[in-house]
Amino acid sequence: MKSVTPTFQQALRMRRHKQAQQIIARFRKHLERGRVLDYGCGQGAFVQELLEAGFSDASGADISLLGCESQLPEGHFVALAAPWDLPTEWNLLTAKPNRTVCLLDVLEHNERPDLFVARLHACGFESLLIKVPMLNGPIGRAAQLAVRLGKNQLMRRLLLTGETSPHYTFFSSRGLCTLVSKQGFELCDSMRIADVGAELPERLRSDSGEVSFGSLHPLLCAVGSGLELLASFWSDTQIFLFRRRV
């Protein structure tokens, strides 16, 4: 994808590591209960942070589009044969219980997220840790306003229109909880988290590649920092912990 530049990837990697630390701090007691699979691990940031925090039974799974197998220790990466496959070693026949599957910026890329969650339930996963973009956050609201004004570019960018793995769904909190609940899980905890900060200029992408904002760069950094400060009250990203309903 032309819009995924080295500058963008580095900025995203830094944000994902920071988010991983926040997620582990909030949900540590739950994650310590057993195995953790980060499905669609991308750059492998979450698994790296888990391993550094002492979670030796953590693994990532992906089709290696971002070369995450080279960034994770041997034995902690599972290569998927095709998108949305489930690792065979994580099925009900395994000797160890399936504890938690993490879907961090993953579920919105699936055309039928309800069916995928149902498959996870059938495979015996006990908990889901889900992170998704929220349409009722500040950027989501701005995109909706832009559409009403006839300016669709921001919404097309949020939906990743024309890219290999677009966003098919933007969730509301109620919508996600309803979808997952119907597949046999119940909500236990949630938290809002910043998806962008002062690195906002580096996270803005163009189909032509690198973007130079010139004198606007400091202003965009300030906007990103403001969004990060607001995140605990109003954010475009939220984390949800679901447990299998007994």
> How many domains, in total, are found in the chain?
1
In a domain? residue 45: yes
Instruction: Confirm if 193 and 231 have CB atoms less than 8 A apart.
Output: yes
Give the closest residue to 242 by CA, choosing from 198, 182, 177, 196. 177
State how far the alpha carbon of 144 is from the alpha carbons of 111, 195, 217, 228, 239, in Å.
Answer: 21, 18, 24, 20, 22
Longest CA pairwise span in the chain (Å): 58
In a domain? residue 204: no
**Tens of pLDDT, residues 94-144:** 556 678 999 999 999 999 999 999 999 988 889 999 999 888 888 888 888
Q: Which pLDDT score is estimated for 36?
A: 93
In a domain? residue 106: yes
SS3 78: strand
**Tens of pLDDT, residues 67-82:** 554 578 888 888 888 8
Give the strands of the sheet with 36-39, arranged side by side. 77-79, 58-62, 36-39, 100-104, 127-133, 237-244, 185-192
Q: Cα separation of 40 and 104, whole Å?
A: 7
In a domain? residue 61: yes
In a domain? residue 227: no
The DSSP bridge pattern shows strands 58-62 and 36-39 to be parallel
pLDDT band (50, 70, 90) for residue 216 = confident
Q: Which pLDDT score is estimated for 93?
A: 47
- Domain with 190, as residue range(s), is 11-134+161-197+233-244
Mean pLDDT, rounded, of the chain: 86
In a domain? residue 100: yes
In a domain? residue 143: no
Q: Which tokens belong to 70? A: 């080279």
Q: Cα separation of 109 and 167, whole Å?
A: 5
pLDDT band (50, 70, 90) for residue 200 = confident
In a domain? residue 48: yes
Higher pLDDT, 159 or 43: 43
**Tens of pLDDT, residues 3-53:** 567 888 888 889 999 999 999 999 999 998 888 999 999 888 999 999 999
Q: Which tokens belong to 154? A: 């921001």
Domain with 185 in it: what CATH number? 3.40.50.150
Task: Answer whether residue 2 shows pLDDT above 60.
Answer: no
Q: Cα separation of 160 and 30, whole Å?
A: 33
What integer is the mean pLDDT of 177-189?
96
Instruction: Confirm if 101 and 75 have CB atoms less than 8 A apart.
Output: no
Task: Answer whether residue 185 shows pLDDT above 50.
Answer: yes
Q: Which pLDDT score is estimated for 97?
A: 67
